[in-house]
C-alpha cells in the first residue's frame, strides 16, 4: 500500500502537488509519541510533507481549536490528525468536529461517520479500513460469514462492524455488558478483538479455522507490547491470525497515507 501511495505521490509531485499531513499531539503520553513518530516516518517514506505540532499538556481548548482552524485553512496541508486520547480537560468531540471533514483523514468527524453509515464515503477510519484491506488481500470471504467484533468504540469497534456489514457479513458486536461472550465469539468465522485488555481472547473463545484479527495494543505483565488475543495459545486453532506487533498497527498507518493522498486529490480535483 505504501509503495502504491509513494508511486502516486511521485506523479502528483510532477504536477507541483505534494500531499501534506499535519499531526497534532498534546501532552507527553509515551504510546501517543510512538504512534506519531511512526506516522511521521511513513510520511517521509511515501514522499509527503509532514508537519508535527507538539503542544504542552496544559494547552487550552481555545488554543487547540485555534490551531485546528489554522490547519483547516492551510493550503499545503491536506490531512489533519489529532492524536487521541487528548488530556482529560480537553473536549475531544468539539476538537474533532472542528476539523474540516475534507481534511479529516481519520474519518472521525460526524459527517464522515454518517457517510460511512450509508456506505457513500470519502475516507474510512484507518484501523477498520486496514483490517478490510488485509481480508481482501488474502481473499478471505466476508459475505455470509459470522463476524464477531468485540469492542464498540467509535474509532474501532463500531466502524469495524459497519464495514463488515457492508461486505455482507452477519455481524455481532460484543461489549462489556455482553452475556455469554465466549459462546458468541466461538461461533465466529471472523473474530475481531478491539478490547484493550491483554490476551483477553483465549483459545476456548475461538472456533477451529477462524480468522482472528487482533486490534489490541496492550502491555503484558512484563510491560511488553501484546494484543487482545492470547496469540501463542490461539494461533494453532486459526486459519489466519494477525500478530501484535505487526498486523493491524502497520495497516492502520498505511491506510492513513492512503487517506491523505485521497484528501489531497479531492482538494486539488486531481
Which residues would be at the binding site for ligand NAP (CB under 6 A)?
A: 127, 150-153, 155-157, 174-178, 181, 194-197, 215-218, 248-249, 252
The DSSP secondary-structure symbol of 213 reads E
Give the separation between CA 176 and CA 234, rounded to whole angstroms. 21
Give the separation between CA 110 and CA 121, rounded to whole angstroms. 12
Cβ 68 to ligand NAP shortest distance, Å: 21
Cβ 215 to ligand NAP shortest distance, Å: 4
Q: How far from the centroid of its chain's Cα atoms is residue 267's Cα?
A: 22
C-beta of 77 vs 156, nearer to ligand NAP:
156
Q: Which long-range contacts (CB under 8 A, 24 or more apart) does 85-90 make?
A: 85/29, 85/32, 86/26, 86/27, 87/26, 87/27, 87/57, 87/58, 87/59, 89/61, 90/26, 90/59, 90/61, 90/64
C-beta of 258 vs 267, nearer to ligand NAP:
258
Q: Do residues 91 and 85 make contact, with C-beta atoms less than 8 angstroms apart?
A: no
Q: Do residues 172 and 148 make contact, with C-beta atoms less than 8 angstroms apart?
A: yes
**3 state DSSP class of 188:** coil
C-beta of 20 vs 216, nearer to ligand NAP:
216
The DSSP secondary-structure symbol of 103 reads G
Sheet of strand 49-55, all strands in order from the earlier edge strand to the far edge: 49-55, 20-26, 79-82
Cβ 151 to ligand NAP shortest distance, Å: 4
C-beta of 200 vs 267, nearer to ligand NAP:
200
Cβ 28 to ligand NAP shortest distance, Å: 17
Cβ 127 to ligand NAP shortest distance, Å: 4
- How is 60-75 classified by DSSP, letter by letter? -HHHHHHHHHHHHH-T
Q: Which residues are catalytic?
A: 39, 83, 106
C-beta of 137 vs 144, nearer to ligand NAP:
137
Is the alpha carbon torsion for 72, 74, 80, 83 positive or negative? negative
Amino acid at each position: 500500500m505504501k509503495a502504491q501511495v509513494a508511486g502516486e505521490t511521485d506523479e502528483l509531485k510532477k504536477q507541483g502537488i505534494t500531499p501534506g499531513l499535519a499531526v497534532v499531539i498534546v501532552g507527553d503520553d509515551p504510546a501517543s509519541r510512538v504512534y506519531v513518530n511512526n506516522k511521521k516516518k511513513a510520511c517521509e517514506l511515501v514522499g509527503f510533507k509532514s508537519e508535527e505540532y507538539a503542544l504542552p499538556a496544559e494547552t487550552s481548548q481555545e488554543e487547540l481549536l485555534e490551531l485546528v482552524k489554522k490547519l483547516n485553512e492551510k493550503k499545503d496541508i491536506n490531512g489533519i490528525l489529532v492524536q487521541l486520547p487528548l488530556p482529560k480537560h480537553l473536549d475531544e468531540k468539539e476538537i474533532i468536529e472542528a476539523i474540516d471533514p475534507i481534511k479529516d483523514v481519520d474519518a472521525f468527524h460526524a459527517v464522515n461517520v454518517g457517510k460511512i453509515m450509508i456506505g457513500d464515503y470519502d475516507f474510512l477510519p484507518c484501523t477498520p479500513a486496514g483490517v478490510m484491506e488485509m481480508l481482501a488481500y488474502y481473499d478471505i470471504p466476508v459475505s455470509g460469514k459470522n463476524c464477531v467484533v468485540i469492542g464498540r468504540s467509535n474509532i474501532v469497534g463500531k466502524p469495524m462492524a459497519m464495514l463488515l456489514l457492508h461486505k455482507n457479513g452477519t455481524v455481532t458486536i460484543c461489549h462489556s455488558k455482553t452475556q455469554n461472550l465466549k459462546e458468541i465469539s466461538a461461533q465466529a468465522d471472523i473474530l475481531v478483538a478491539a478490547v484493550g485488555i491483554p490476551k483477553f481472547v483465549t483459545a476456548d473463545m475461538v472456533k477451529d479455522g477462524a480468522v482472528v484479527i487482533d486490534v489490541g495494543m496492550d502491555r503484558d505483565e512484563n510491560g511488553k507490547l501484546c494484543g487482545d488475543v492470547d496469540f501463542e495459545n490461539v494461533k494453532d486453532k486459526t486459519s489466519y491470525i494477525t500478530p501484535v506487533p505487526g498486523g493491524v498497527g502497520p495497516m492502520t498507518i498505511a491506510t492513513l497515507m492512503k487517506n491523505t493522498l485521497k484528501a489531497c486529490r479531492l482538494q486539488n480535483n486531481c
